[in-house]
């Protein structure tokens, strides 16, 4: 078996010293080209597979990774990502990995680049990035490529920027799936509400924009007669302003009984409905957050589409670990499962890092 091959076995086959084999295996200097060829031929003949874990441990190097993530409220979707990141850091602690977390302001176009530059000043070995606009993200990823720092994309996929890997949902398919499930609730309706959480009139993420494309594609194909009425809530507004907009909408549209939001903020509408006792309106949203969970248990949210944020965070760090520490290839595109939570199965939704 290849994992039982000893250095002295390789040395005997190659006709060189044990020290020469050790230097070749660890890419050290002071080895003649002739000796290198002999050792490489012996390794090939013996089908030698190095123990990458042992080699990485023996190297005894410190590694610094950064998670560059939007600022967020406590107990939000991103908290689960952070927990997954920290769990992988703990599991890989023998390899002297540290994962630092930096926060940028998604509402400010320059914040991603500015915060990214602060991370670059620390000379990290790798970076996990939640993108904003293509233009801003490209500015940062160009700098990462120039510095030869591998990066993994989380949440939104921008293949032209050449990340090492991506972890997240297929957002078009996710939106298409959400529309199909939503219309199981609202199949007989003439009007439905689409709540959009925006940043000065623009989508707060490419992922949510792509989900909307998938959602509208399904609706156009299967329910073209259903009117999709938009309610746009700006992230800079207060809860009082949200309530005022929602009150105006539901007063003006008494026949709307179903609402969908393609982001993690279903609880904004859910809590409003519970406060105003509008039990006839049901919501579908995204992500297993404590507030969404609470609204589902109290009856204002019917479905949540989830994507295992904890698992995404864990696997992003693990991808950097495998690529940078173990020198292994990683799968470039990693789509998360599109999972549907209801009041009946929400208790069985667990964190998984596999």
Q: Residue 235 — pLDDT band, cuts 50, 70, 90?
A: confident
Q: Is the predicted pLDDT of residue 116 greater than 50, yes or no?
A: yes
Maximum pairwise Cα distance, the chain: 88
Estimate the share of the chain in helix, then strand, then coil, as percent rounded to the nearest 5: 50, 20, 35
In the prediction, which pLDDT does 1 show? 38
Q: Is 252 helix (H, G, I), strand (E, B) or coil?
A: helix
Confidence tier at 260 by pLDDT (50, 70, 90)? very high
Residue 354 has pLDDT above 60, yes or no: no
Please tell me the distance from the alpha carbon of residue 354 to that of residue 351, in angstroms, as a whole number: 10
pLDDT average, residue stretch 91-110? 92
DSSP type of residue 336: P
Quote the pLDDT of residue 187: 87
Cα 257 from Cα 280, distance rounded (Å): 6
Per-residue pLDDT, averaged over 177-182, amounts to 97
Instruction: Categorize the per-residue pLDDT at 2 as very low, low, confident or very high, splitting at 50, 70 and 90.
Output: very low
What is the per-residue pLDDT for 50? 65
Compare 193 and 22 and report the one with higher pLDDT: 193
Residue 352, pLDDT score: 64
280-332: pLDDT as tens digits:
999 999 998 889 999 999 999 999 999 889 999 999 999 999 999 988 899 99
CA distance 319 to 325: 10
Residue 3 has pLDDT above 60, yes or no: no
H or E segment at 70? strand 63-70
Handedness of CA 120, 198, 178, 345 (dihedral sign): positive
The 10 Å CB-count burial string (b at 16+, else e) for 174-201 is bbbbbbebbbebbeebeebbbbbbbbee
Q: What are the beta bridge partners of residue 303? A: 284
* DSSP SS3 for 258: strand
77 burial level (CB within 10 Å; 0-12, 13-18, 19+): buried
Cα 184 to Cα 191, 222, 223: the distances in Å are: 14, 12, 12
- What are the tens digits of pLDDT across the range 4-36? 678 888 888 889 998 888 888 777 778 898 988
Q: Which residues contact 108 (CB under 8 A, 6 or more apart)?
A: none
pLDDT average, residue stretch 248-276: 95
Work out the percent of the chain whose per-residue pLDDT is above 70.
Answer: 94
User: Quick one: 239 exposed, middle or buried, by C-beta within 10 A (0-12, 13-18, 19+)?
Assistant: exposed
pLDDT of 353 strictly over 90 = no
pLDDT at 6: 80
Q: Is the pLDDT of residue 90 over 50?
A: yes
| Range scoring the smallest mean pLDDT among 20-24, 81-85, 126-130, 182-186 | 20-24
**What predicted TM-score, i.e. pTM, was given to this entire model?**
0.81
Res. 177 pLDDT band, cuts 50 70 90: very high
């Amino acid at each position: 078996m290849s994992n039982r091959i000893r250095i002295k076995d390789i040395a005997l086959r190659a006709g060189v010293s044990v020290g020469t084999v050790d230097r070749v295996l660890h890419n050290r200097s002071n080895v003649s080209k002739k000796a290198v060829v002999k050792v490489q031929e012996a390794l090939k003949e013996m089908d030698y597979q190095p123990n990458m874990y042992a080699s990485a441990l023996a190297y005894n190097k410190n590694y610094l990774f950064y998670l560059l993530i939007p600022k967020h409220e406590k107990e939000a979707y991103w908290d689960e990502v952070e927990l997954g990141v920290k769990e992988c850091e703990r599991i890989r602690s023998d390899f002297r990995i540290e994962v630092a977390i930096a926060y940028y302001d998604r509402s400010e176009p320059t914040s991603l680049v500015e915060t990214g530059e602060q991370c670059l000043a620390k000379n990290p070995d790798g970076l996990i990035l939640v993108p904003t606009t293509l233009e801003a993200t490209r500015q940062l990823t160009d700098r990462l490529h120039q510095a030869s720092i591998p990066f993994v994309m989380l949440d939104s996929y921008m293949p032209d920027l050449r990340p090492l890997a991506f972890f997240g949902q297929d957002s078009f398919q996710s939106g298409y799936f959400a529309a199909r499930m939503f219309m199981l609730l609202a199949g007989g309706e003439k009007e439905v509400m689409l709540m959009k959480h925006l940043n000065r009139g623009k989508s707060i993420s490419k992922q949510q924009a792509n989900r909307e494309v998938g959602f509208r594609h399904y609706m156009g194909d299967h329910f073209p007669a259903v009117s999709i009425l938009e309610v746009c809530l700006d992230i800079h507004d207060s809860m009082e302003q949200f309530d005022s907009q929602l009150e105006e909408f539901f007063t003006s549209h008494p026949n709307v009984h179903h609402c969908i939001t393609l982001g993690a903020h279903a609880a904004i509408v859910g809590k409003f409905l519970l406060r105003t006792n509008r039990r006839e309106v049901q919501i579908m949203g995204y992500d297993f957050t404590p507030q969404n969970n609470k609204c589902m248990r109290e009856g204002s949210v019917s479905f949540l589409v989830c994507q295992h944020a904890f698992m995404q965070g864990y696997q992003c760090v693990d991808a950097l670990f495998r690529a940078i520490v173990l020198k292994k290839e990683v799968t470039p595109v990693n789509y998360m499962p599109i999972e549907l939570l209801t009041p009946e199965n929400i208790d069985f939704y667990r964190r998984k890092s596999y």
